[in-house]
Structure 1
Amino acid sequence: MSKQYLTFHTIDDAHPSEIFALAATADGVFSASGGSAIKIHRPPSSAVPVDGAPPPAAAASADTAAVEITKAHSHGCHHLAAGRGGPGKVLASAGFGQDAKIWIQSPDGDGGWKEHAVVRPWGGSAKSAGAGAGAARVWAVALSADEQFLACSSEAGKVAVWDVVAGRAVHLYETAASGAAEGSFGMCVDLSPDGRFAASGHASGTVYVFNNDSGRLIYSLTGLSKPIRAVRFSPGGTRLAAAGDAGIIAIYDTRNGEHVASLSPGPASAWVMSLDWSHTGEWLLSGSFDGRVRVWSVETGACVATHSESDQTIWAVRWLPKTPGRAPEGFCAAGARGAITFYREASGSG
């Protein structure tokens, strides 16, 4: 079985430097890079391919003109998070200056975004120095679907769950071994759509899964052994995908941590930098260090589509939310080239 996806729009000059993060909502796609601005791109609403034909260039250009959150992170931004399938009114970001922020959409309807809060689950300053300073430095962020809770991982391996409305940490989790001052670098984090579970991936190759109802660690997963760069819960929260430098995507049953599947392109597999589930949970999207974007069938474990328009790293991939004005299914990818490419499923594919 294979699926065909067509490139229907590319923003070549989305950022002047590498794009490290994407977040997608019904209103648009957010992107962040080594620059200080977060940009919002609105994919062409009328740009649904017909018989493989791309949309008119003028229409595409008009619809994707970027809105900016200027000076969002002075040293650049490496993580963005939006609530999957949620209202699309809250955005979270984490920057290279060790600063994490929450943004809310302006209520006046002008399409603008305003800073709501700076997130410091462990207190202190992002620039704190000395022993244990890494604990105060948020690295990765993830939002629950209802945009009420934010998960954060830190350089010191700590994990937190933050109440967006109350502006405080509701859970502070430790991953360090007994007697150790710090744990392994928390490279990625995710929340299940209902916010009940949090998962973090670490430089040690371990994935930790926490129950936010009980406030306890449920289990740790050590099968990949190399740095974990992406963890992602399925839409129903029953599966967890994890991947990184091992070049393999491992899928686990969230009820008991059982390893139920491994997805691999073969012996030439490259580091996996980003993952995202389709809204039905049938397909898994991955972006890799070798510049390839792949679509996987979760049921069969097969790669059903591969795009390799560049040999430069793909840092971020995201499915586009399904809306009445955006059909058929699509996704976007971005990376070292500084461009964002949008794909749509070809008519009759699959």
Structure 2
Amino acid sequence: MTLRMFQSSVSSHMFPRVLLSSGPLSSTAAGRWSRFLQSSPILPHQLLRPAALSLNLPGIISSIWDSVLRAVPKKKTSHMKKRHRQMAGKALKDLKNINTCSGCGQMKRAHVLCPHCVEGMLSPIEYVGRESLITCFLILSASGATALKIHSTTDPDFPLVQSIDGVHKVGCHHIVTNGKGSRAVSVGFGGEINVWACREGTWSKDDAASGNMAGAAGTWAVALSDDGQYLAGVTQDGHIKVWDLNANGELIRDYETKGSFGTCLDMSADGRLIASGHENGSVYIFSTETGRMPFSLSGLVKPVRTVAFSPGGKLLAAAGDSRVIVLYDTSSGEQVANLSGHSAWILSLSWSHTGEYLLSSSFDGKVKVWSIDTRSCVATHSETEKAVWSAKWLPKTGKTEGFATAGASRSIAFYREATGG
């Protein structure tokens, strides 16, 4: 009897409208029910109240009204107008945004060329990246064969305009140019270094500067100063040497490292700094003014295959078998950023002319464009699965950027920035 009364009371609390229509309980049952409640400490005292008093009518009505409001769809028109206002404000903010130039460190407007970096340009066609194999009108390429190929950049089809055969008996593995594209230097597998001069659009060998460089044996990678006067080279035993080409190849500097194979080399645009990468993962920066090594950089434990100074010389990028691009501050030697994304050896690095973008190519055929401001990859090209040995920016002649790549596919590929128009 007690169990049945307990179940009935719980039902009346949960479903009051159903049990309110029942008749009143007898006095005997009420007495038993009252005595049961008094002797049952587990039941709450709220069960002693009538069922009608347990109703929370305002709460029920409020919940029903909230359900109705949630069921009504929002006005999409007002939401879209709000979104358009937000986007318009963002575009206006980006247009007026001021940031720091990655090339020279000066303040400039976002998304435009730095006026401090380009103030010395006579015209866009006359400016070219110092470290590039690409001159204002020509592309010089070496494919490991004995010949050098020269292609014209003034024609949209990039035709072959000159081929110099037999320049290196075993083959050529490095070629560099100065800033104006008037002088080039090539290095062969046989250890010979050839200096080339461009006169009226035709390249010829400079015999006076080529045959008189002392200590050139064992040179692997080279870098040419912006004016073409000084040539720096790193040797197989880790020495960094500097020659004066205007003085018939006189040796003027000889820096010594720990003796690891020198795999890559670069010189800053102003000629004050020289950076070298080595097989043991070491990266060194030398000062041509003091003749000393201010920094020995860490961060790469595997062979370094490419190093590149930014146009303003504020940053040095280094990469190789570790598959990570490391950025260093040349004034302090500190590691300021790591750019990760490549899944194979990184073989080449090239800065854009303003220093806002960094171009990289890898052994798996991928070419990536990195934003220095955001420290992120903004474009990836994977048209080939073969190694891309070199990637270089083209001279900027219009509103868009472009670059060229060459690799194991035995071809030169050209890319330009998509404008959307």
**TM-score greater than 0.5 by the shorter chain:** yes
- Does the Cα contact within 8 Å between 1:157 and 1:186 map onto a contact in 2? yes
Q: Deviation string for 1:232-263 (max 9, x for gaps)?
A: 00000110000000000000000011101110
String of CA shifts for 1:21-53, please: whole Å, max 9, x gaps: 9711102111001211111111244x3xxxxxx
Residue of structure 2 equivalent to 1:269: 343
Q: Secondary structure at the match of 2:370?
A: strand
List aligned pairs for 1:75-90, cutoff 5 A. Answer: 75-83=170-178, 86-90=179-183
From 204, 209, 232, give the equivalent of 1:113: 204
Relative distance call for 1:163 and 1:263 in structure 2 (3 A) is same
- Aligned residue runs from structure 1 range 288-307, under 5 A: 288-307=362-381
Matched, 1:209 2:209: no
Q: CA deviation at 1:327?
A: 4.8
> d(CA) in 1 for partners of 2:360 and 2:212?
30
Number of the residue aligned with 2:241 = 160
Could you tell which deviates more after superposition, 110-119 or 87-96? 110-119
Distance in 1 between the 2:306 and 2:132 partners?
13
Residue 34 (str. 1) matches residue 127 (str. 2): no
* Structure 1 position 149 matched with structure 2 position 230: yes
CA deviation vs aligned residue, 1:96-152 (integer Å, no higher than 9, x gap): 11112211113xx252322343367553xx7xxxxxxxxx31100111111111110
Task: Name the counterpart of 1:342.
Answer: 414
Question: Aligned Cα RMSD in Å?
Answer: 2.0
Return the alpha-carbon distance in structure 2 between the equivalents of residues 44 and 70 of structure 1. 23
Length-normalised TM-score, structure 1 = 0.79
Which letter maps to 1:297?
S
Relative to structure 1, is the Cα distance of residues 120 and 80 closer, same or farther in structure 2, using a 3 angstrom cutoff?
same
Report what 2:394 is aligned to: 320
Q: Aligned to 1:40, what secondary structure does the other structure show?
A: strand
Q: 1:200 to 1:121 in 2, by over 3 A?
A: farther
What is residue 333 of structure 2 aligned with on the other side? 257
> Which amino acid in the other structure matches residue 290 of structure 2?
S
Does the CA-based 8 Å contact 1:22-1:30 persist in structure 2? no
> Of the candidates 401, 404, 417, which is equivalent to residue 332 of structure 1?
404
**Within 5 A, what are the aligned runs for 1:136-285?**
136-166=217-247, 167-176=249-258, 183-265=259-341, 269-285=343-359
User: What amino acid sits opposite 2:145 in the alignment?
Assistant: G
Rounded Cα–Cα distance in structure 1 between residues aligned with 2:418 and 2:203: 33
> How much has 1:69 moved relative to structure 2?
2.0
CA distance in 2, matches of 1:187, 1:316: 14
Aligned-partner SS, 1:165: helix
**Which structure 2 residues correspond to residues 97-136 of structure 1 after superposition, within 5 A?**
97-106=190-199, 109=200, 111-116=202-207, 117-118=209-210, 122-123=214-215, 136=217
Could you tell me how far apart the structure 1 residues matched to 2:357 and 2:321 are?
21
Q: Greater share of strand residues, 1 or 2?
A: 1
TM-score of the superposition, structure 2-length normalised?
Answer: 0.66
Residue number in structure 1 paired with 2:113? none
| Paired amino acid for 1:283 | Y
After superposition, the C-alpha distances for 1:277-335 in whole angstroms (9 at most, x for unaligned) are 00000000001000001100111111111111111100001001223xx5521100000
Determine helix, strand or coil for the equivalent of 2:185. Answer: strand
* CA distance in 2 between partners of 1:297 and 1:112 (Å): 35
Alpha-carbon spacing, 1:301–1:25, altered in 2? closer, same or farther (3 Å)? same
What corresponds to 2:133 in structure 1? 23
- Aligned partner of 2:361 in structure 1 is 287
Which amino acid is 1:78 matched to?
H
Give the Cα separation in 1 of the matches to 2:414 and 2:164. 22
Residue segments in structure 1 that go unaligned for 5+ positions in a row: 1-20, 48-59, 127-135, 177-182
Give how far 1:74 is off.
1.3
Residue aligning to 1:13: none
Matched residues in 2 for 1:275 and 1:110: separation? 27
Matched-pair contact (CA < 8 Å) for 2:196–2:203: no
Percentage identity across aligned positions?
Answer: 50
Structure 2 counterpart of 1:292, one-letter code: K
- How far apart, in 2, do the equivalents of 1:343 and 1:327 lie? 14
CA positional deviation for 1:66: 3.5
For residues 409 and 321 of structure 2, the distance between their equivalents in structure 1, rounded to whole angstroms, comes to: 21
2:81 matched residue in structure 1 = none
CA distance in 2, matches of 1:119, 1:348: 51
- Per the TM alignment, residue 169 of structure 1 is displaced from its structure 2 partner at its CA by 1.6
